[in-house]
C-alpha cells in the first residue's frame, strides 16, 4: 500500500485540513473507499498509530481515507462550521478527483469509533444516497437524540462530565437535536422510507461505558424496522478492542463489495 498525507484548504471549513490515505500501489482501479473516522481525543493519524489497519488492508483493492475530525462529531454545528457537508460531500469529491477512487454509492463506505462511530452513522445515513455501507464501533450515539437541555445535564451527571463539556455539546448539537439531522434514528427512518438504507454494522464492548447507549440504539432500530447487524464482544473503550474488531468491519464492507482476500 502507498501511504499519502493529503493536505488541502477546505472551502466549507475555511481552513487547511488533512487526511491520511492508504492507496493500493498496484491494480487498475477504480477502488472502493472506506472513510475511517477517529474519536474525540484523536486526530487523523491515530488509526495508523494505534491499530494495524495498514496490515489489514494490505493486498486488498481498497482505499482507506482517515480525515481529521477535530472535536466536530462530524455533524453540521448549531453554532459553527458545516462539518457534515465537509465529510459527506467535500471530502469524497476531492478524493475522487485526485485518486483512483470509485464514484458510485456502492463503492463508498464509512466507519469509525466512539465520536467517529456516531459520525459514520451521521454521515452515512445523512448521505444515504452517497454511501452504501456503514460501521460503528462503540458509538457515542446518545448526544444527537437529546430533547432539551435537561437531558444533556442528566447524561453529564450519569457519566461525570463537566458543565464545560455540556456547553460544548450544546454548541454542536443545539438544545433539542432529537428529530433533526443530528438524530441518527431519524436519519435511518428517512432512509428506510426512501428505500436507500445503507448496510449497517454496529458493535460495542460489553465493558464499554457506552454499551447502554448502543443497546438502546439497537433496540430502537429493531422497533423502527431499520435493518442492521448488531454485535457485542468482550472489551472496553480501548484501542485493543477497536484494532480487533475493525477487521470484522472491513470484512463486512468487503463482502458488500464482493472482495475476497
- What domains, with CATH codes, occur in the chain? 2-146+178-257 (3.40.50.1820)
CA 6 – CA 259 distance, rounded (Å): 26
CA 111 – CA 124 distance, rounded (Å): 8
What are 141-173's pLDDT values in tens digits?
988 877 888 887 887 777 788 888 889 999 999
pLDDT at 222: 98
Residue 103 is placed in which grid cell?
A: 464514484
Q: Give the global pTM.
A: 0.96
CA 261 – CA 258 distance, rounded (Å): 10
Mean pLDDT of 217-231: 98
CA 173 – CA 152 distance, rounded (Å): 10
What are 82-123's pLDDT values in tens digits?
999 999 999 999 999 999 999 999 999 999 999 999 999 999
pLDDT at 197: 98
Collect all residues with Cβ–Cβ distance below 8 Å to 113 and sequence separation of at least 6.
Answer: 37, 38, 39, 137, 138, 139, 242
Output the CA torsion 166→172→174→180 (10° steps): -130
Q: Are 22 and 56 in contact (CB under 8 A)?
A: no
What are 171-212's pLDDT values in tens digits?
999 989 999 999 999 999 999 999 999 999 999 999 999 999
pLDDT above 90 coverage of the chain, percent: 88
pLDDT at 160: 80
CA 40 – CA 77 distance, rounded (Å): 15
CA 79 – CA 62 distance, rounded (Å): 36
Mean pLDDT of 32-38: 99
pLDDT above 70 coverage of the chain, percent: 100
3-state DSSP call for residue 40? Answer: coil
pLDDT at 154: 83
pLDDT at 149: 83
Amino acid at each position: 500500500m502507498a501511504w499519502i498525507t493529503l493536505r488541502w484548504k477546505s472551502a466549507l471549513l475555511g481552513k487547511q485540513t488533512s487526511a491520511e490515505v492508504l492507496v493500493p500501489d498496484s491494480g487498475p482501479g477504480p477502488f472502493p473507499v472506506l472513510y475511517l473516522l477517529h474519536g474525540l481525543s484523536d486526530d487523523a493519524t491515530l488509526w495508523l498509530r494505534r491499530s494495524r489497519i495498514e496490515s489489514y488492508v494490505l493486498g486488498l483493492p481498497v482505499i482507506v481515507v482517515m480525515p481529521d475530525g477535530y472535536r466536530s462529531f462530524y455533524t453540521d454545528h448549531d453554532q459553527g462550521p458545516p462539518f457534515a457537508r465537509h465529510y459527506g460531500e467535500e471530502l469524497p469529491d476531492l478524493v475522487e478527483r485526485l485518486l483512483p477512487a470509485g464514484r458510485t454509492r456502492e463503492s463508498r463506505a464509512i466507519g469509525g469509533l466512539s465520536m467517529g462511530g456516531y459520525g459514520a452513522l451521521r454521515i452515512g445515513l445523512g448521505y444515504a444516497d452517497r454511501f452504501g455501507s456503514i460501521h460503528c464501533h462503540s458509538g457515542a450515539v446518545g448526544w444527537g437524540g437529546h430533547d432539551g437541555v435537561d437531558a444533556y445535564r442528566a447524561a453529564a451527571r450519569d457519566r461525570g462530565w463537566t458543565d464545560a463539556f455540556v456547553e460544548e455539546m450544546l454548541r454542536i448539537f443545539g438544545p433539542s437535536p432529537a428529530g433533526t439531522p443530528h438524530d441518527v434514528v431519524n436519519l435511518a427512518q428517512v432512509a428506510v422510507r426512501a428505500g436507500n438504507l445503507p448496510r449497517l454494522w454496529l458493535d460495542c464492548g460489553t465493558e464499554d461505558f457506552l454499551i447502554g447507549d448502543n443497546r438502546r440504539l439497537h433496540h430502537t432500530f429493531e422497533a423502527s424496522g431499520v435493518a442492521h447487524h448488531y454485535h457485542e464482544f468482550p472489551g472496553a473503550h480501548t484501542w485493543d478492542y477497536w484494532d480487533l474488531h475493525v477487521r470484522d468491519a472491513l470484512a463486512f464492507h468487503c463482502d458488500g463489495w464482493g472482495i475476497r482476500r
